[in-house]
């Protein structure tokens, strides 16, 4: 057997054993680290130190707000594909296209992002439309509110997700 094969095997054994020792030593050390003050407070109040997205005691400890959850949904669902959040007093419409009229988008397939604007600008939607029920109906069945709308219906969003999305839109003032 050539020398370099034996040396290679020994090198692999040394690397894997040192990696294993690092994992074992690290986990042993971490088990001895005392919990943080926040974890101790939560354990007293709630009975555990685990965290999940619906943890009611995370409020005030950096938990996301309803509007920030709505912003995440706005991005996740691709609302930005058709809607913009541009200041009204700028000339950005020269790049993104003029705001659409109903005739511009009826019976038209979706375009490439940035080639033109397909839906209204939402920057100040919170001050323009303050009726939560309108937003709810509009997102569940857009054609019930705006006949001929090309906006998809978001019937699959949970009520909590819909409340978060509407809170985000209401925060845009």
Confidence of residue 109 (pLDDT cuts 50, 70, 90): low
pLDDT in tens, 115-166: 556 777 787 888 887 788 888 999 999 999 888 888 889 999 999 999 999 9
The pTM of the full predicted model, rounded to 2 decimals, is 0.52
Q: Which numeric CATH code is attached to 64-171? A: 1.10.760.10
As annotated, the residues of the chain forming the CATH 1.10.760.10 domain(s) are 64-171
pLDDT in tens, 6-62: 878 888 888 877 777 677 766 676 666 676 777 666 666 555 545 555 555 555 556
Q: Which two tokens stand for residue 28?
A: 């042993």
Average pLDDT over residues 62-77: 83
User: In this predicted structure, what is the pLDDT of residue 140?
Assistant: 92
pLDDT of 79 above 90: no
* Cα 17 to Cα 11, 20, 24, 31, 40, distances in angstroms: 10, 5, 10, 21, 36
């Amino acid at each position: 057997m050539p020398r370099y094969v034996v040396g290679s095997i020994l090198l692999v054994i040394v690397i894997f054993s040192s990696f294993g020792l690092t994992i074992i030593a690290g986990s042993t050390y971490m088990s001895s680290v005392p919990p943080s003050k926040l974890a101790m407070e939560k354990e007293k109040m709630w009975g555990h130190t685990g965290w999940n997205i619906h943890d009611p005691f995370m409020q005030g400890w950096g938990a996301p707000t309803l509007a920030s959850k709505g912003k995440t949904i706005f991005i996740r669902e691709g609302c930005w594909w058709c809607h913009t959040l541009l200041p009204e007093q700028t000339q950005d419409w020269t790049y993104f296209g003029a705001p659409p009229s109903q005739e511009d988008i009826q019976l038209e397939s979706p375009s490439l992002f940035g080639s033109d604007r397909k839906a209204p600008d939402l920057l100040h939607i919170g001050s323009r439309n303050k009726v939560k029920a309108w937003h709810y109906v509009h997102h569940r069945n857009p054609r019930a509110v705006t006949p001929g709308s090309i906006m998809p219906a978001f019937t699959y969003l949970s009520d909590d997700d819909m409340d978060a999305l509407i809170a985000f839109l209401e925060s845009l003032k």
